Each structure stands twice: as structure tokens, then as C-alpha cells.
Structure 1
């Protein structure tokens, strides 16, 4: 070994030996002077206390603090001067290890290099008046010169906590922070303006309540991570640099600022969670907020950030500002599932500055909200939810979708949609009850084009339908409707006054005013209105769409409709009418008819009445006025009114009539003939009876040389009383081209026909030249008179025979 190496090695060994000798000497010195040093340390630490610090025992721990001296203190207790009043001990530590500067000990000064606290409880207590037991620490008087130049303030270089119960209990501010610290290690560096600390923490948060009346944030969550903290003595500000902190299983980026220069320490905490599940984030908040937020859920993680600003005094809740970024997620709400959901969400509990940090001054804003409900895409530029005590939501809802997708949303019990496109733009304002929009007020438009739709309860089908709904503040305008059902085409415009108020509160009071136009209308295609409603299937009552579907169904059935029709041509079975005008009133009870007028050829018909829906059979009462109606066409149009003997083929002329008829009509539009009841007054002008077999069968014997195929009437009038299948013919005189007759009796549409017919054999042509009406009337029954009786035959047809009973009566 070279000579210089040997010399260097000897010097190093000598220095190590010297240090060991000094360290052992110091250890022996400390051990020999434990009581004196304990008193010195206690006195030094009590210099800056308004209270007391007591130490149970002290022992040196030689190698832990090497090359300094480490002292283990047992049962260290710090109490403020008012401990007897509030009984909250600031510090109770079973193990308190202090490492001091060796050289400073030799000069009689204490410079604390490290403090380690284990198995301890730290309780920072503030009573309801604002007094805190931290008053035990005196604030440094910067203006007062140091009087004791032989000693310095104790400076802490390192510290650690292990198994420490740390509590901040502020009764005045209703705040409680409670942490069970498993481990905390920190390094301190000092400068002229303050200090800097590097910390590493692992703790269980038992309570982090900014307002104990609302509960704790991050309750029972483990917090683990490093911190870098700076303190400026001039400003009294503590800065916590942003760093990653794990809360539970989720990583957060945390930064904070605490201003201790204020009477109540102000703080700002900046929290960022770039990827956290909604439920995990909700479970970190106070119970009153968590309960509400867990009514919602997002399937994929979100990017969330939160800034808390408040003070440790009696200021109540901190100001909370939360921002969340959601992209292409699945949102679950109490009433719906939103796919492809994206938005930027903002929450604040200080919406209007100066009005307090309360639920009433809280707001939620959702920007550029987009999603799809049952495959129907929609967007809302800005959703505003104000006043979380009584939440009110506002926004502009926009959507464009295939109407067939509505089937999945609202069910098919009431309306079933086929093809077609809907475009929606609605401004809405609504209360929020149980996190659902409640009775929203909407303005805007809904436009549907080229749609196929079925109204299921009435089995009505429409194709190529178009509709435009315009919601105003008070009324609903329904414009540009085009309905096509089979061959019928209908154009409609409507209005409902006070629509939304009545829709939510009294749907039975809704009155829809319709103006309806049609080039052609086939009434048979709308017989569903006569049919009893099909019951809604109860299997889907508990489905997510049942509430809306039932509301719509309830609206259709309970609302009233006032219809004003103008139809160019109307068809019903064989009936064809033109220039139809009608006022119809539809309600849950049935249909009211007023001012109905129809032209048929050169004649016209006017009708009013009502139809009461009672099930498969519907009761009706109709008043009808016929003016110059072609009787042949009229009988043909209405299937001869159920008669089989007298049909349209046997009639000719123009009918004038007034009638009141009631009865039953099936949901298929068929008359129940035995239910009819009413009166018919008629006047037939230029009439003729053509090839009527009952007359021909008698006339071919009684009047062989007269034209029985074409019996003409100059004027024929009479009155019929209808009672079920029986039609009572009031005594009626018939003056025809071949004979005169008096008729009275009962005609039955089934069985029971009994009509007395008195026929004089005198040829009416013999009296054709008589102009005096009285003389002509006196002559009409002169000569031989046949007394005939029309009754039912065995084959069901009417038979004519001599009325023998009439002869006996005479």
C-alpha cells in the first residue's frame, strides 16, 4: 500500500474513533443528567405556550439519532390554560421521540432536529364562542427583540406520526375533521420567510365535515400520497403544491391554500379526478348529496374537478364549484336511460354572489348536452337547474328522429308509429320532483312528416301523416295536419287554450278546436270512434314508459274535441254526399252533432243529434230534415232501411221529410232495427211506385188493364211512428195514377205486419178533369171498394188478402 494511502486510512479511522468517543460521551452525559435535561427541554418547550407541557419520562436512544442525540419521551401531554373548562387535551402521546443537535447541547441550547409521535391523540378544539385550545401556542412577536441570546427557538427539521388520532373539532363553525393517521413522515427546511415541508401520508378519514349538520365528505376512506407544503411567515399563507393523492382506490390531484393570517383560517382546495366512476365520486360526498346523486349513474369514468373555498370559522358550508366532463357515456336517470351521452357539467352553491352558500342559491349547468333516448338522438344547448331546495330546470330541447322509435319510448298501447320523421325544438321550464321533470312548461315546435300512425284503442290507422305542433306560453296550436286513412284524406288545424295547465291538472277540461277540410271522406274508415275502447294491457304498467303512455292515453280519452268539418265529398257505405258541413263535439261520453248539412244530387239533408257510447252498442238520437232528396238514391244509400219488400228499385220521386229517430248502432256502424224509436213525417213529390210486387199481385186481377208497373203520385205525405221493428202508418190517403187508396196499420221489419188497405175500384182518370178539390175528394171513394189486408206470409214475404174483419165491422 502506498505511504499516502496508509496515512489517509489512519486519519479516517482516527476521526471515526473520535466521533464514537464523543457520541458515547454525550450518551453517558445525557444518561447521567436525565432529570436536568428533561427539565431544560420542558422549560424550553413551555416558553412559547399558554398552558402546560408535561413529560412522564425521558430516555436516550443512542443510535436512532446518530450522530445527534435522540431522546424518547413518554406520556407527553399538552394542555391549554382553559383545559379545566372544556376538557379537550391538545396532545396526548404515549411515545414522543425528540432528536436534538449534539453541538447545540454542548453550548446549552436545544435545536430539535426531529420529532416522532406514536400512539397519540391530537385534538384541536374550538368551542361555540370561538375559543380554541390551540391558543396554547403563543404567536411570535416580531417587533420584540430577543432577550435571551443564549438560546434559540426550537426548529423542527423532521417529524413523523404513527398511529395518531388527529381531530379538528370546531363547534362554532360546525366542522369536524377526524383522521386516524397510520403514518405521516415529513422533512422541514427553513428560510428567512418561512418553511417548506415534504410529507408522505397514509390515513383513514373518519370525518371530513365542513358542516356537521350535513355530514362528512370522504367518510371511512383511506388517503395515501405525498405533499409539498410551503409556509410564508410574512403573509401567513400555507401553500400545498399539486400532487397525486389516492382516496380509496381512486387517484386525485390535490392542491390547496390556507390563509392563517385571517381570524378564521381561509382555505381553497383544488381537487381533480381525471378518471373516476360516478358512483365512486358520489360516495365521497356528504350523505345528503350522495343520496341524491346515486339516483343517477354513468357507466364509464368521467373527468371531474372541484374547488372548495371557505374558512375554518363559523361560516357554514364552503363554496363548492364542480366541473365534470362526460363523453360518449351511458347515463341512467330515475325515468330513462340515455345512450351516447356527452356534456360539460358545472355545479356551484354560490350562483348569485352575496346570497349565501345554500341549496336555494345552488345551480347546475349542463352545456352541450347530447344523447339518445331509446335510439332517438337529442341535444340541449344549455340545461340550467336553479334553486336546489325547489329545483327549476330550463333549457332548449332539440331532436330529429324516426317516429317509429317512439314505440320503444312510450309503448304501443295507445299510439303505434310506423315510418316518418319528427323534428323537435322546445324551450322548457319545469319543477324537479324526485329528480324528474314535473309539469314542464314548454314553448316551441314539433313537426312530423310522412308518418304512419295507428290509434290502437280505436283501431284507426293513418298513413302519410304530417303534423306541426306549436306550443306557446298558454296555448297549443296544431297546424298543417295531413291524415290519410285508406281513401280518406283530411287536412286539419287546431287549437287548445291553456293546454299545459289543463293537461297536468284537469285533462277532462281540455277542449280541442278543430278546423277540418277534406276532398273526400270515407266514414266507414272511422268507425273506430263508435267501437268500445280496447283495454290497455296491464302487463306493461310498471315499465319505464308506462307513466307517459298512460298520460297520453288519459288525454285522448278524457279531453273534448270541437270539430268543424268542410268536406267536398263524403262516402258512407252506398251513400255519397257533397259539400258537407258539420259541427261535431267529441267527448268521453260520445259524439254530439250539430249543423250537419249534406247535398245529395239536387237535394240536401240536415242533421243534428248525438251518439252516446255505452260499449259495443251505442245509443243515438238524430233529428233529420230532407229537402228534395231523390228517394230512389236515398233508399239505396241506406240499404232500404232494413226493408226487404219495398226497396229503392220500387221507388221514384223527391222526398221532403222531418224525422226524429233514436236507437242503437253497433261499433261497426250497423243499425239495430229493433231498437229504433221515433217519428217520420214525409212528403213525396212526383213520386212513383215501380214494379212493386204486393200491389201487382192484387192489381193484375182487380185492375187488369191498368199500368201497375209505374204507379205515379202527384203528392204523397204521411206520418210514420217507429217503435223497434214496428212502423205504425198513421191513416194516409194515397192518390195515384191507377188507383186511390187509404192505408193504415203496422209494417214490421221482422214479423207482425198488419196493414189495412181500402182500394176503390173507380179509375182515378175519370176524375182527372174535376178541378174542385172538395168534389174530387168526395168522389175518390165512390163505387166498389176493396178492403185488403197486408200481412206476413208463411214464406216471410208480405201477402195481400181480403180484409174480412173490416167487412164485418162495416
Structure 2
């Protein structure tokens, strides 16, 4: 027979076979439809013990040609919990396929199952009960009309959620396109699964592990249902291009026992980091590696209420390269050997982490380090670091949240050992063993939330347990410079824990402090704005001995500033600060309390020696008034001042809170071109009073309730002797009383002045006047009050009472808020 005839005959046989299959499929669809459905539902009800709801059942010869499909549409299978109707499985469609020729022969064997667009919810409640116990025990004595041969199961768009309330484990995956083959021999099953799976999340004890991962799975499993024993053979999971081999076993007949091993192959640092809990690896998720990165895991032991398996994880790098794809900085020749080990996964108090021989080169600068951590609940840490780090390279490799840029070099050799909890208490802090030093070489740091850069930071930092010694640490912050020698106390706890204080005890030297710039920078205002912000950190405990050559605050530019400054609980105190300013010297002490929200309370005493009075008015911008200005005044002032006042955090004064006693003396004084004096000239026997000179002027002034109280004082000038008393409010309301000698009565109308003229005890004729109104609209008038002398005495008495009350109040308050020196570095237990 020729080849052509053989081919023709073979082709005819194939056509005939295809025709038989097609005809069989069509005939089964129309002739055996009801019989197939009836057999299937009857057998289904024999094996399922939970309600099943199906919207529509169809038989088709086209859906999965050439096989006949029995299709269930909109299917819901209820879970097995008692009195629950919650779905275990819901699916848009489930297809069961049969061989059409076998159906003609009465063989109803399911060959394939196709599950499309479904959701399966698997649960274990807190009592250890499962919701998927839906199958009845098979009755082997009865004939089964419908048989199951799961040689192929296809899952498309099916989401599985697994919730173990007993172990606080939550898992959600979606099968994109997954196929499974199942071979059964009695109660033993061989299952092979391949396909693409999307892992939504794996959450254990509220920690989010591997999230949003595309997986390629190729698994080979053996399951013995009678022994409740699962064996994982040579299975692989591909994640982000890395392969993980998985093998082991899991049994749950009497106890839940696991023996699982995972080994990473062709992996990299990015894949390993992506599998860590969310939050702990977010900052490192973009990093890449080249070279030998290894990982293996062994989990072994029992799951129960009181027990959990042991876990050992080994990981590391060998001569690898680490880099960030967005920058050109990289660590080369990186080596690391890591081990995480715990005898029980649920007891992190028993866990240990070792990172050994961590070393590499960051853009040519070498470093070495080791870390040992024991007991994650109460960590005991032992670590060391030795290396030279270029700050610019470090911040290119690792983007710090609060630092914009940096330059310079850190040369560090540090060792740390101890329980971290010991850092939180003063009596145990000295148990911490910290040693080593850091050399700072021309550091530059620009912060994101602070406009002034820290520049040219140099010096030596020496660790001594929980403290850090500063040796000739110098630098500049904006226009201000500093030199520190002293200690940072409690520095390790401050860096590791929130709300821990830090103590600074140091000598501070500076050539120049630009307080304007620092306060503006603290407010976050843009350049050109003038809004200050004054804050004291609640975590700051400070004791400075200051030596500042020059300082600038608005027009105030003192020099040779020396004294002490102590800070605790947001309260700053100075026993005495001395400085030179405005042609003389100032000595002050006091307290600044910033502990109240957005309020700054000041309580101070200071003395002025030989200060130019016109300079005071100029420096303090004429105290925001234009009635008496620096151009009117000359002379040297000597004064002792007690004052208290309250500002907001922008250093704007609440004027109603200002209370002050001022004992003052002005020597060699002049009052020039002062308009009220010129208006007085028309009442006196003087041609003009535009240039008054006096040798000394003394008075005790009191300020309270937005009013300046001026007791009677005598101004003996080159022209005349004048007595002045009265009040001047912050609203510029004035009420002054003036008594001056009247040598001649030619310039006054006797009738108009009647009652305002009187002889004093020496026989001089005295004219009584008053100046009333506002500083911009006032009048000079005769003072004809019959009780004028009593009014003066009453004002003296009132001022004395106010002054005495203020002194007592200040004395009492000082006692309540005074800080004892020995308490400065005692932090709360």
C-alpha cells in the first residue's frame, strides 16, 4: 500500500473519530442532560454536609470541547460552622467535565474541574475549629454513580483567604492561572500544582509580611488523609526573579507538627527585604545588590496553645555590592553573616540576632561592625563599629528623612553593651558599657525643617557609658559660632527612645551670636519675615557657663557676655549674667518659663550701671511710642529693676502682665526739645525750656496694669527746679502734675491762675500745673484742686503699696519655681 493511501486512510479515521466525538458530545448534551444532572446532584448530596446554592445548572458541549461540561453558575457553598450561613466558597462558575463517549456507556467520571471568578474563605477559630469540614465520610458499601478523577483542576481568578484566629495569622492569595493534578490511591493523594499566584498579604501577629507579590509556584505535595500528614517534596516558589526551594512536612492528626526548610537560590537583597514585615523594610525597599546573597530557613516543632516551633534563619552577603538605583553611591566588597534563632517563634524573649563580620567600603572608605541582640522583649545589645565615613557618601547611599545634605568626615570607633531598659533610669544607666570616640572633620549638615546649616563642625566626641564628652567641638549655625567643652549626659537613651531627656553640661564660647537669625529660623519663617518663635524642648536639660564676645538682638548689641544658664522642664534660669552694652554694663538674673503652651513667662532682676539713657530708648525702639524719644534725652542711667511679664511664643508682650519696680538715677542728664516743657514756658518766667540740664535725677517708678506710676520727683536743672508726678498708661493717656517756682507773675493771668498759686515753706511762689490728655493731644492747665497736696501724697502711698505687693509676690513665686542646682541632671525614673 502506498504512503498516499495510508495517509488518506488515517485522515478518514481521524475524521470519523472526530465526528463520533462531536456527535457523542451533542447527543449527551440533548439526550443525557437530565440524567447527568440527576446523577451528579444525587451523588453531590451524598458527599457534602453543608448547604449548596446554585442559581443555574447547564450542560454544554462547547464550553470545554470535546468534553461535555456540567456548569454550575453563581455557586455558594456554606461553611461548616454550626448555625452559620456564611459562604466557604462562592464562584461565578464551576465546570465539571465528562468524556462524552464514557457517559454513553454509563460512566459518569469527572475528569476536570474549572473554577472561575471565585472566593474561598478558610478559617480556624479561637477554639481550633475549622470552617471547611464540609465532606461526609464516604460510604464504601454503596455504588457511586458519579466518580471523581481529578487529573486536572484549573483555577482562574480565584481568591483564597486564610484566617487562623488561634495563631493570629491572615493570608490572602489570588490564582491568576493555576493548574493542579491530583492522583488518589485510597486516602493518599499526590498533588502537583503549577501557575501564577498573586500574594496580597501575609500578616502574622499584626505584622505585615510579604505583601503584593507575584509568585510562580511549582509544587509537589503528598497528603495522607488518614494520618493527616502533608509532605512537601522539591517545591519551588519564584519571587521577583529569586528562587526559593521549599521542602518538609506538616502533620495535624493528634498534634500540629511542622518540619519545614526554605533555601534561597539566585536571590538578592531586594527580594529578602521585601519579605520582611511592612514598616521595618520600607526605607530599604529600593536597594539592589550584586553578588552572592544567601538565605535559608528551618522551622521545626509543635503548634499548640502553649508551644510554637523553633525558627532558625541564616542569611548573608559575600563580596557583594549594595547600591540605590537613584544615586551613584554604593557599598562594595560587602560581607555579612547573619543568624536569627529562637527556640519558640511565639516567644521573642528567647530570640537572638547575630550580625557578624559586617564590613565593606562606602565609596572607598572602609568600615567594620558586629551586632548581637538577645531577647527582643527586653533587648540586650552588644555592638561595635569601626570605620571612616564620608557624610556626603552616606547621605547619597541612605536618604535621611530630616537631613537635606551633608559633607565632611566621621572617624568612629565605638563599642556598646548592655540592656536598653537600663538607659531609662538614672540608677541603672551606669550599667551600660559604652566606649570609643568619634572625630568630626569639617562637617556640614543642612536640615529639612530648619533653614540654618550647621557648618564646619569639628572636634572630638568621647563615649563614657551613657555620657558623651565634648572636646573642642566647634562650628557655626548660620551667622553664629560656638566652641563647646563639656558633656552630653544620657545621650544614648536620648537617641534611642522617645521622650528621654538629654543633658548638656558645657562651657560655651562664641565670638558672635545672631539671636535674631536663630529665633527667626526656629519659627520656620521665610527670609525677610520678622516673626520670632521661642521654644524650649521638654527633653533638654542644660547647664552652660557662657563666654560670648558679641550678641545681636534687633538693636541690642551687647559685648563681653559672661554668666551661667541652666535649663530644665522648659524653664531657663540664670543666677547672674554680666555684659557690656549701651555705653555701660548690665548684670542680670532671672527665669524664663516656656512650659505653658504658647506662653513665655519672664521673672527677672537686673542692674544698669552707667548706661546711656538715649541708647536705651534707641535700642528698645522708643518703647513703641513717639512722645518721649531718644533724641530728647542725654545722660547716664543707674538703675535696679525687678520685673515680671508674659509673652506669646512669638515674643510679643502681653502688656497687661508687665509689672515692674524701677529704682533709677540719671546723672548728667539733659532733656532737649521736649514739647511739653516748651508749652510750660508760657506759664513760667523762662523764655524757653528746650534745653534742660540737671546733675542728678532719682526716682522709684512702678509699672502695673498697663500704667506707669511716677511718684513725685524734683528736677533741678540749669534753668529752674520742677517737681513732677503722675501716671502714663500704655494707651498713651497721660496725667502729670507739675509744680514750678514762679519768679514773676507778668506772664500769667492772676484771675485765671487763682487757686493754682501757693507759697511753699521757704516763701517761694509756686505755680501748680497739670498736663492731661494723650501724648498726641494733651493740654497744659492750671491745677486748682484744693486737695492738690493730698492727691500727691495719695499717689505716693498707692505706689508704695503696689511696690510692696510686687516685692512679696515676686519673692514667693521665686521660691515655687526655683530650680535646685543638684537636680539638673536627675531625670524621671
Question: What TM-score comes out, normalization by structure 1 length?
Answer: 0.51
Alignment correspondent of 1:689: 671
- Provide the residue aligned with 2:645 in structure 1: 663
Following superposition, the deviation at residue 718 of structure 1 comes to: 0.8
Q: In structure 2, what is the equivalent of residue 369 of structure 1?
A: 359
| Corresponding residue of 1:481 | 473
Q: Is the 8 A contact 2:485 2:507 kept in 1?
A: yes
Match of 1:748 among 726, 729, 735: 729
Give me the whole-angstrom Cα distance separating, in 1, the residues matched to 2:191 and 2:732.
Answer: 104
Residues 665-693 of structure 1 show CA distances to partners (whole Å, capped at 9, x for unaligned) of: 45454545454222111112222222322
Question: Which residue among 771, 774, 796 is the counterpart of 1:790?
Answer: 771
Match of 1:801, SS state, is strand
**Could you tell me how far apart the structure 1 residues matched to 2:484 and 2:416 are?**
26
The match for 2:572 is: 591
Matches within 5 A, 1:481-500: 481-500=473-492
Contact 2:263-2:295 at 8 Å conserved across structures: yes
Alignment of 1:699-778 (within 5 A): 699=681, 702-705=684-687, 708-762=689-743
Instruction: Map 1:185-196 to 2 at 5 A.
Output: none
Residue 233 of structure 2 corresponds to 221
Q: State the shift of 1:306 in Å.
A: 9.2
Report the 3-state secondary structure (helix = DSSP H, G, I; strand = E; otherwise coil) of the residue aligned with 2:660.
strand
Q: How does 1:121-140 map to 2 (within 5 A)?
A: none
Quick check: 1:653 aligned with 2:635?
Answer: yes
Higher Cα radius of gyration: 1
C-alpha spacing 1:694/1:348, structure 2 compared with 1 (3 Å): closer
Aligned partner of 1:41 in structure 2 is none
Deviation of 1:598 after TM superposition, in Å, equals: 1.1
CA contact (8 A) 2:235 2:245 kept: no
CA contact (8 A) 1:460 1:528 kept: no
The verdict on how the C-alpha distance between 1:250 and 1:458 changes in structure 2, with shifts beyond 3 A counting, is closer
Quote the residue 1:159 is aligned against. Answer: none
Contact 2:760 2:766 in 1 (8 A): no
What residue number does 1:630 align with? 612
Partner deviation per Cα, 1:550-574 (whole Å, 9 max, x = no partner): xxxx995422222221112223222
Q: Give the structure 2 partner of residue 524 of structure 1.
A: 516
Deviation at 1:405, TM superposition (A): 6.0
Q: Name the residue aligned to 2:546.
A: 565
Q: Deviations over 1:414-463 (max 9, x none)?
A: x6555554444432347799xxxxx9975333444444546676765544
- Go from structure 1 to structure 2 and tell me whether the alpha carbon gap of 1:697 and 1:409 turns closer, same or farther (over 3 Å shift): same
* Structure 1 position 747, deviation (Å): 1.4
| Structure 1 residues 694-743: Cα deviation after superposition (integer angstroms, max 9, x where no partner) | 1122226623356x343222321111111243201112222222111222
- Secondary structure at the counterpart of residue 699 of structure 1: helix
The alpha carbon displacement at 1:757 in A equals: 0.9
Question: How far apart are 1:780 and its partner, in Å?
Answer: 8.5
Paired residue for 2:661, among 679, 685, 690?
679
In structure 2, what is the equivalent of residue 610 of structure 1?
A: 591
Cα deviation, 1:289-347, whole Å, max 9, x if unaligned, reads 999x9999986674659999xxxxxxxx9999978543435599xxxx99768214265
Seen in structure 2, the aligned counterparts of structure 1 residues 517 and 781 have a Cα distance that, compared at 3 Å, is farther
- What do the CA deviations read for 1:122-148 (whole angstroms, capped 9, x no partner)? xxxxxxxxxxxxxxxxxxxxxxxxxxx
- CA shift digits 1:203-241 (9 cap, x unpaired): 96869xxxxxxxx9x9613289xxxxxxxxxxxxxxxxx
User: Does the 8 Å contact 1:643/1:749 carry over to 2?
Assistant: no
Are 2:582 and 2:616, in contact at CA under 8 Å, matched by a contact in 1?
Answer: no
Which of 382, 390, 410 matches 1:401?
390
Which residue number in structure 1 is paired with residue 461 of structure 2?
Answer: 469
1:512 alignment partner in structure 2: 504
**Are positions 1:379 and 2:367 aligned together?**
yes
For the 8 Å contact 1:586–1:592, the answer to whether it is kept is yes
Aligned to 2:557, what secondary structure does the other structure show?
strand
Please state whether the residue corresponding to 2:512 is helix, strand or coil: strand
Contact 2:647 2:653 survives alignment (8 Å): yes
Please give the secondary structure, in 2, of the residue aligned with 1:493.
Answer: strand
3-state SS, counterpart of residue 618 of structure 2:
helix
* Alpha-carbon distance change, 640 to 601 in structure 1, aligned in 2, over 3 angstroms: closer
Unmatched tracts of structure 1, length 5 or more? 1-162, 166-177, 183-202, 208-215, 225-247, 253-270, 309-316, 351-357, 434-438, 535-553, 764-777
1:428 and 2:409 are equivalent in the alignment: no
In 2, Cα distance between equivalents of 1:273 and 1:588: 53
Instruction: Choose which of 421, 435, 450 in structure 2 pairs with 1:443.
Output: 435
**2:412–2:438 contact (8 Å) kept in structure 1:** yes
Q: Is the 8 A contact 2:512 2:548 kept in 1?
A: yes
CA distance 1:668–1:722, change in 2 (3 Å): same
More displaced, 623-632 or 418-427? 418-427
Matches within 5 A, 1:3-82: none
Q: 1:643 to 1:366 in 2, by over 3 A?
A: same
What's the secondary structure of 2:558's corresponding residue? strand
Q: Quick one: structure 1 residues 728 and 378, their matched pair in 2 at CA, closer, same or farther if it must change by over 3 Å?
A: farther
Report if aligned partners of 2:677, 2:690 keep a CA contact under 8 Å in 1.
Answer: no
Structure 1 residues 377, 443: closer, same or farther in 2, change over 3 A? same
CA contact (8 A) 2:537 2:570 kept: no
CA gap of 1:330–1:809, structure 2 versus 1, over 3 A, is closer
- Cα distance in structure 1, aligned partners of 2:322 and 2:776: 74
Matches within 5 A, 1:145-160: none
Aligned length: 510
Instruction: Quote the residue 1:76 is aligned against.
Output: none
Does structure 2 retain, via aligned residues, the 8 Å contact 1:565–1:582?
A: yes
Question: Does the aligned pair in 1 maintain the 2:352–2:372 contact within 8 Å?
Answer: no
Q: Aligned partners of 2:654, 2:671: CA distance in 1, in Å?
A: 27
2:243, 2:266 within 8 Å by CA — same for their partners in 1?
Answer: no
Equivalent pair of 2:489/2:503 in contact (CA under 8 Å): yes
Q: 2:401 aligns with which of 407, 411, 433?
A: 411
Q: Does 1:805 align with 2:805?
A: no
- Preserved CA contact (<8 Å) 1:503 1:555: no
| 2:557 counterpart of 1:576 | yes
Which runs of 5 or more structure 2 residues have no equivalent in the other structure? Answer: 1-182, 193-218, 224-228, 237-241, 247-261, 299-308, 343-347, 422-428, 527-534, 745-758, 791-829
Q: CA deviation at 1:605?
A: 0.9
CA RMSD of aligned residues (A): 5.8
The whole-number CA distance in structure 1 between the counterparts of 2:232 and 2:352 is 27
For the Cα contact (< 8 Å) 1:645–1:797, is it kept in 2? no
1:620 aligned onto 2:618 = no
Q: Deviations over 1:66-99 (max 9, x none)?
A: xxxxxxxxxxxxxxxxxxxxxxxxxxxxxxxxxx
Q: Distance in 1 between matches of 2:231 and 2:585?
A: 85
1:535-574 matches, cutoff 5 A: 557-574=538-555
Q: Distance in 1 between matches of 2:311 and 2:657?
A: 77
* Per-residue deviation, 1:581: 1.2
**Structure 2 counterpart SS, 1:716:** strand
Aligned partners of 2:582 and 2:615 also within 8 Å = no
